[in-house]
Amino acid sequence: MDPSRTVLIASDAHLGSTSPEQEAAFFTWLDQGADAASWIILNGDVFDFWFEYRWGTTRGHDERLRRLRAVVDQGVRVTLMGGNHDWWGGPWLREHVGVEFLQEPLVADLGGRRCYVTHGDGLGSGDTIYRWVVRPMLHSAVTRFAFGMLPPAIGDRIAGGVSETDHRWGPPGEGERRAAGRLVGWATRFLEGRPDIECVLAGHCHVPSLEEHQPGQWYINSGDWVHHRSYVVLEEGHTPRLEHWDGTIR
């Protein structure tokens, strides 16, 4: 791969909750990515939980943040998309780690293709309670302000109590497969209405997928690093690729 022409995309590492083996693999991949690409996009749920409180940030991530900073310091552009587990980032990640942290979908030219990047939570039909009740409540400025006033130890404990990532270390279950189907349906409709978009990139469901919906338009789900160790390669002049990391970036 030509690093100047290559973009790598991964999602759903759930750092802080996934197994030590998967976390170590993810950071090895990230270090390799610093040599293989000029831009790395981590498309949501990089952390199993992240919040920037009034009196500090989510605890226990110091070494992980240092590893992220090391990649940034090599001159690689690193973008973190907010997911349903870590949407509440902000100035601390941007200023202290140096990443580009985004809370809204990204439209950009990646590897020579016009792409739409979204984590994917709340998209598609179904999951009505999350889409219309839970997600708006979590994204509310009032909720964010109130939760941000908690001491980090208490806020982190609450978040840990509702996370179910440690029960998802195996292959995707029925719930993940249903979510994957909803995202495929949403992406199909989205691409039909957006002929200017060549790739839709998503995560969230932990089901890796690469589908060419019509010539020149792709839906790609980067999967996860809880189980699959999957990632996407976009390189100018080449067809998009979905890879599974086996010790080296291909």
Predicted local distance difference test score (pLDDT) of residue 221: 98
Predicted local distance difference test score (pLDDT) of residue 137: 82
pLDDT band at 124, cuts 50/70/90?
Answer: confident
Indicate whether 181 belongs to any domain. yes
Q: What is the mean pLDDT of residues 53-73?
A: 95
More confident residue, 205 or 162: 205
Above 70 in pLDDT, residue 94?
yes
Indicate whether 204 belongs to any domain. yes
Q: Where are the alpha helices (DSSP H) in 124-209?
A: 128-129, 135-139, 141-148, 152-162, 174-193
More confident residue, 128 or 16: 16
Q: What is the mean pLDDT of residues 171-177?
A: 87
Above 80 in pLDDT, residue 76?
yes
Q: CATH number of the domain that 139 lies in?
A: 3.60.21.10
Indicate whether 158 belongs to any domain. yes
Predicted local distance difference test score (pLDDT) of residue 222: 98
Tell me which residue range forms the domain holding 226. Answer: 3-244
Predicted local distance difference test score (pLDDT) of residue 125: 77
Average pLDDT, rounded, for the chain: 92
Q: Tens of pLDDT along 136-159?
A: 888 888 988 988 998 999 988 888
Total domains present in the chain:
1
Above 80 in pLDDT, residue 129?
no
Rounded CA separation 205/68 (Å):
24
Give percent of the chain with pLDDT exceeding 90.
Answer: 77
Indicate whether 162 belongs to any domain. yes
Indicate whether 250 belongs to any domain. no
Indicate whether 88 belongs to any domain. yes
Predicted local distance difference test score (pLDDT) of residue 164: 63
Gap between the terminal Cα atoms of the chain:
8
Predicted local distance difference test score (pLDDT) of residue 39: 97
pLDDT band at 88, cuts 50/70/90?
Answer: very high
CB 17 within 8 A of CB 48: yes
Predicted local distance difference test score (pLDDT) of residue 90: 92
Q: What is the mean pLDDT of residues 202-216?
A: 95
Q: What is the mean pLDDT of residues 57-68?
A: 96
Predicted local distance difference test score (pLDDT) of residue 173: 86
Instruction: Please enumerate in sequence order all residues whose Cβ is within 8 A of that of 137, keeping only pairs 6 or more positions apart, or say none.
Output: 143
Predicted local distance difference test score (pLDDT) of residue 172: 84
Above 80 in pLDDT, residue 196?
yes
Instruction: Please enumerate in sequence order all residues whose Cβ is within 8 A of that of 216, keeping only pairs 6 or more positions apart, or say none.
Output: 198
Above 80 in pLDDT, residue 185?
yes
pLDDT band at 165, cuts 50/70/90?
Answer: low
Indicate whether 249 belongs to any domain. no
The residue type of 70 is: A
pTM of the model: 0.94
Instruction: Please enumerate in sequence order all residues whose Cβ is within 8 A of that of 196, keeping only pairs 6 or more positions apart, or say none.
Output: 114
Q: What is the mean pLDDT of residues 147-173?
A: 80
Above 70 in pLDDT, residue 163?
no
